[in-house]
Amino acid sequence: MNVKYRIHSLPVELLSDIFLHYLRIKDDSNSPSYLSAHKFSTATPFTLSHVSHTWREITLNYPLLWSSIAIVNPSHWQIPLIRLWIENSGSCPLSISFTQISYDTSALCDLDFDILSPSNPIARQDIEATDTIMALLVTSSHRWRSVHLDLGEYLPQPLKTLHSSSSLPLLQSTILKTKRPSYSCASSAEATLWDVLHLQPSLWSASLSRSDIEGRCPKSLLKRLRNITLYDDFSTEEALDILESCSSIKRLTIHLDNSMSRSPTSPVQQRMLTLSQLHKLELITSINPEPFLASLTLPSLTSISISCYGLKPHTAALAFRSLIERSKCHIQDLALRGNDIPQAEVLIFLSAPTPSVRAIKLETMAITPEILLALTETEDKGPEDQFYFPQLRSLSLASLKAPEWVISQMIKSRLNRYGVAELSSMFVDGRVRHIY
């Protein structure tokens, strides 16, 4: 058989899995209005269905390919495609991402009519398309498994048909964002929608804003959520207050900043929280993270990402090391981000006792030869030594500033006794680095 056509000999099951992976490939799109399988991608099952008759048959008869849909800036051209998309998904649970255009109200403040008024020619067509598309999605709300709604200033009419007694039996994850004009308060319809999406008993993952926490979020919801993203800026004290109620949390993404705090200069109350089930922590901070990390004990932690911006002097590395020593956890994934983090801080970060780490990602000001030497294995290194990473399999570095021989030495040090690289993947400035 011609090598060119061997892909046609693959089993349907294997080809279907390849299709699923293709739809999840991340890319950057500058398109103002698009339809895709995932928000971070522009790939669609329609593309696959146009390759050949065989691929079309597989695509149209595999509902799982159609079980995720991302809609950005709803437009009329999307309507027939979305209708077909939902039909092709069969009875599969649906993951929906809906991002509505956000108008620059400050630029239009001199207009004589309301920006969202039907008399506004700028918004009329977009609103009609938004309502039509949302009506199609709401008809399958009993199959919603994951819903991400970024609604801008306008609340689509079909969403108002959902009420507090609406049953979304499969809903596990939700994100609800609105950007109402400053002169407009949240309506009762918006409050009802929040309740519908967040108070379903099946829900275990949610992204919450400051207004959610202060206004509508009951402690009973925080208690049962396993995956929480706090996407507004919270002070250390506010974050710890929230986490005291999160007894079931397993994954946490949090933004720390004092700019929105009601008492930004008040000292942090000394306390200690043990989150026994938390295994993944992503911390984005522009304030000293030491009081926050010093208040936590995380014995199940396996993945941590710390992003520091505008911190001088940096204290995240020492706080991280103390957290690891105190928690006695087994880190497998480690990431440090920040454009102005100096070499000394990076080395302190890497010196934490993390012999079980399998993936390291460093996106800092510059990856120097000293940092690469710390990642180099030597025969005399052991568990009691710093920079001991015997299980390292993936390494991602940004702004690498080191001679080629230092890079080669680090890679060669990670060859096993058969001459095979144990470091299976290496990325430098986002590009794959050859491992020999």
- Report domain extents, the chain: 1-202, 204-365, 373-436
Inform me whether the pLDDT recorded for 82 exceeds 70.
yes
Show the tokens assigned to 78: 């999307």
Q: How far apart are CA 242 and CA 276, in angstroms?
A: 16
Q: Which CATH architecture has domain 204-365?
A: Alpha-Beta Horseshoe (3.80)
pLDDT at position 85 is: 96
pLDDT at position 41 is: 81
Q: How far apart are CA 9 and CA 305, in angstroms?
A: 42
Q: How far apart are CA 209 and CA 174, in angstroms?
A: 12
Q: Which range has the top average pLDDT, 12-16, 94-98, 257-261?
A: 94-98
Higher pLDDT, 267 or 146: 146
Cα angle 370, 375, 376 (rounded to 5 degrees) comes to 95
What's the rounded mean pLDDT across residues 52-58?
90
Cα angle 100, 106, 111 (rounded to 5 degrees) comes to 95
Task: Let me know: does 105 contact 115? Beta carbons within 8 Å.
Answer: yes
Q: How far apart are CA 362 and CA 253, in angstroms?
A: 18
Cα angle 134, 97, 246 (rounded to 5 degrees) comes to 115
Contacts of 205 (CB under 8 A, 6+ apart): 146, 172, 173, 174, 225, 226, 227, 228, 251
pLDDT tens-digit readout, 148-206: 999 887 889 999 998 766 779 999 999 998 875 433 445 688 888 999 999 999 999 99
pLDDT interval class at 31 (50, 70, 90): low
Spatial CA neighbour of 402 closest among 321, 355, 359, 346: 346
DSSP for residue 29: -
Q: How far apart are CA 152 and CA 104, in angstroms?
A: 10
Cα angle 387, 277, 350 (rounded to 5 degrees) comes to 10
pTM of the model: 0.85
Looking at residue 413, its amino acid is S
Whole-angstrom CA distances from 153 to 179, 215, 252 are: 5, 19, 28
pLDDT at position 418 is: 53
Spatial CA neighbour of 338 closest among 307, 292, 302, 304: 307
pLDDT tens-digit readout, 372-388: 888 888 777 766 667 88
Q: Backbone phi, then psi, for 131, in 5-degree steps? A: -65, -40
pLDDT at position 180 is: 57
Quick one: how far is CA 200 from the chain centroid?
A: 22
